[in-house]
Structure formats: structure tokens, C-alpha cells
Amino acid sequence: MDYFPVFLDLKNRLCLLVGGGEVATRKGRVLAKAGARLRIVAPEISAELRSLVAQNNGELHEREYHTGDLQGCVLAIAATDIEALNEKISADAQALNLPVNVVDTPALCTYITPAIIDRSPLVIAVSSGGEAPVLARLVRAKLETLIPASYGKLAQLASSWRDRVKARFDDGDSRRKFWEKILQGPAAELTFNGQQAAADELIARELAGDQTQLTQGEVYLVGGGPGDPELLTLRALRLMQQADVVLYDRLVSDGVMELVRRDAERIYVGKRRNEHAMQQENINQLLVDLAKEGKRVLRLKGGDPFIFGRGGEEIELLAQHNIPFQVVPGITAASGCAAYAGIPLTHRDYAQSVRFVTGHLKSDDTNLQWPELANPTQTLVFYMGLVGLKEICESLIAHGRAANTPVALIEKGTTQQQRVLVSDLTSIADVVAANDVHAPTLFIVGEVVQLHESLRWFTPQIKNA
């Protein structure tokens, strides 16, 4: 280890920053965020640095650097493009035993500044020892996606209970086990969701020895998106990693399932036309039963659970039984598949509105409001419309939609097996029949389909047979 990592308390302490340009401004932002008082020295100083100095009662010196500028400071940063000046600042600071950083010149530094993930009071620093700063920033970017911003709230929760927990448990091992339980359990989820009072109540119960609430399970109703796992939300990924049991649908892609916690129990409850692994009523009841056993239950659905996903039906029963639940929206198939096909669902020149329509109803037919759907200035997106495709096209034409209206059928959208078939209302059924298309599919009707050829950007790596 070439550098010893350390966190400095700079609140209300004077720090010298030599330089007034873009690089110096970036350094000034970080120092100001840590509560430091800035002493800025440079012939020309950016407007943002001036503002930072004014905000934290700092000092502004529009002139060349002098050795005396280091007096009273706890650290120094040289952010100029003058090599000789940077060398002098470094030498002067080291003569006074002051920590000094010269931007992009590790040989002149006694400390280096890391890439920072700020979840205050939780702060994570990533450093390459000055050897590969871009790599450190890339690692930081990956960590940013894995550590939700709400972890700061969790750190504040732990801080507020720290003394009481220490008084309750005599030995460090007991305290560690207690905090592991709290920080990975229902109290943490309540904190993430902004329910601070409820989280405090749970911790108080645990300290008092009442474990009834802490053993209560919870259900996470999560939208898994249209297929590409990179379209998952950060919250979805976090809940997928902590669930004890997963109930998943047929439309959840293999790539998304790969991100589920490895040791979680998996229960397939998918549905095909006239073929249900489990009836909806049984799924609803199973969610209740598993939660009552104290399990964290992930109900994972393709797309968005509240858009043709029957998510509302499932949480109704949970609410009746007072089972805690949270809903995480996902990118619905209409948005995801259209975007990956290069088809904007609205466009000032072609469509001023968009409608999402189910391809079959509860009675298993397509008895829709056809006169409304025939409006030529709107885009129609049909979910689950493959079987009734011919009837959909004929009904739209019969109610006034032009027979040559452009349409697109997207198969396995956003995945490496994506295929886009473009035609018009008259011919699309024949095109589909000739190409051996299988669900899941999405059917888009409207003039915006014309943009597919010019706006297509996604090229699947796996060709369909």
C-alpha cells in the first residue's frame, strides 16, 4: 500500500488553494463541501470560486502566490499549469510539514485526493495512488450504482441509536450481530423509504426484546423491465439481492434473473395463453403466506407491474392482511422496446399522443373501443397482441385507420434476440406468419414507425434463426 487512507476534519479550517481556473474550481467544490474555509490565491479567479469563498467566510487574493499564504492553513492544493510555481508551493508546504497536493503530479504530493462516493455521513474513497485516476473514477461510477443515496439515511439511523445500543450490549460481538440484523432488515427498508419514526419504533422493540415486528416479512413488487438487465432501477437491484424467496414471471429475462440473490428460493409462476403455472388467486395468497412466515418476498414481473402486470390485484390482498410491501416501477415494454427499435412513441410531426392497449381482455377477446383507437394522430402500442394481430388490424381499418398505416412488431425487445418486423396494417399479419414469430412481442401502430430505419441504433449480437 503506497498511501495510507485517512479522512480529515476540515470544518471551519483554513485551506490554501492556489489557482483560479476549472481544475481549481473542482477542488474548491470538494473542500467547501467538507466545510473548509478557502484561501484562494490566483491572478484570475472563477465566478464559482468567488461564490464558494463568500459562502464559507474564506479569503480571496487576486495576485501571485507568496510563501506567506501558507500561514494558518492546515493543507494546501496547487492547481496551476505553471510547473515551477507548483514545485515552489510543494517545497514551501513540505518545509512547514503541511500536507500538499499538486494536481496531476504525484511526485510533488504528500497526499492525493481520491474519487469520492458521498453518502454522508457514509463516505467512500477510491484511489489508484495517482497512477490511474481515470480508472479510479470508473470504479467510483460502478460503486455509485451499487450503493443507493439512501445509505446516508441508514448511517444517520445507526448514529442516532449508537449510544443506546452500546449501553444495551456489553460486548462488541453482540453489538455487531445486533447491527447486522438491523441494517439488513425491515428497519433499514423503512429508513430507505423515509419512514424514520417506524424504523425507530422497530429498533426500540428489538432493544426491549420484542421480536414480533422484526420477524414480520415483506413483499417487494418489482418491475424487471422488458429484458435488458441494464434497464433495471437501482432500487430493484438492491431488493433483488436481499430477497429470501422470488416469485417470477415468464417475461422476466434470464439476464435479469442472474442478478437475483444466488441462495434465494425461486418459484416460477409464469403464464402463457391457456397455460398457467399458478392461478392468479394462488399467487396472491402465496405472497401473503410467505410474508407471514417472516420472509422477504420478491415478486418479480417483466416490464412494469402496474402496466398490464396485474400488480394492483396482488397488493390488494397484501393490504387487506396488513403485510408491508413496496412497489418498484420498471421500464414498461412500450418504452423499452420502442426505444431499442428506434421508434419514438410521440413526435411533433407524426403523433401527439400515445395509448397503451392490451391485446386481449379478461374475456380473452379484443373487444376494444375501436373508434377511439382509429385516430390517425396517435400512436397505439398493443401488449399481448400476437394471437389477435389479424383481428386488431382489420378492426382498425374497419373503423377508419388507413390501411397503409405503418406498423412494427417487435419480438423479444431490448434483448440480444430482438427482431423488428415493419409493414402496414394490411400486410403485417402475413409478414408475421412468414417469419415464425414467438412471444413476447409488442405491436406498434402509427406514423412514427417510419422513423425506425433512420433512428435504429441497437444491433442484437445474436441473430434469430
Determine if residue 152 is labeled as part of a ligand binding site: no
**C-alpha span between 16 and 399 (Å, rounded):** 74
**Would you put residue 412 in left (φ > 0), alpha (ψ -120 to 50) or beta?**
left
Determine if residue 22 is labeled as part of a ligand binding site: yes
Report the DSSP pairing between strands 441-445 and 265-268: unpaired
Determine if residue 302 is labeled as part of a ligand binding site: yes
* Residues 318, 229 contacting (CB under 8 angstroms): no
Determine if residue 186 is labeled as part of a ligand binding site: no
Determine if residue 43 is labeled as part of a ligand binding site: yes
Determine if residue 121 is labeled as part of a ligand binding site: no
**C-alpha span between 444 and 421 (Å, rounded):** 10
> What does the block give as the cell for 445?
401502430
Angle (deg, nearest 10), helices 196-207 and 172-183: 140
Determine if residue 23 is labeled as part of a ligand binding site: yes
- Asked if the bond preceding 121 is cis, omega within 30° of 0, the reply is yes
Determine if residue 226 is labeled as part of a ligand binding site: yes
Name the catalytic one among 88, 271, 289, 424.
Answer: 271
Distance of CA 194 to the CA centre of its chain: 17
Q: Is there a catalytic annotation at residue 177?
A: no
Determine if residue 35 is labeled as part of a ligand binding site: no
**What are the phi and psi torsion angles at 243 (to 5°)?**
-75, 145
Query: CA 59, 65, 66, 67 torsion: positive or negative?
Result: positive
Determine if residue 332 is labeled as part of a ligand binding site: yes
Name the catalytic one among 153, 228, 249, 301.
Answer: 249
CB neighbourhood size of 164 (10 A): 12
Determine if residue 430 is labeled as part of a ligand binding site: no
**C-alpha span between 57 and 253 (Å, rounded):** 55
Q: Is there a catalytic annotation at residue 362?
A: no
Determine if residue 304 is labeled as part of a ligand binding site: yes
Determine if residue 278 is labeled as part of a ligand binding site: no
Query: CA 310, 438, 223, 342 torsion: positive or negative?
Result: negative
Distance of CA 116 to the CA centre of its chain: 18
- List the catalytic residues: 249, 271
Give the annotated binding-site residues for S-adenosyl-L-methionine: 226, 302-304, 307, 332-333, 384, 413
Annotated binding site for NAD(+): 22-23, 43-44
Binding residues, as ranges, are: 22-23, 43-44, 226, 302-304, 307, 332-333, 384, 413
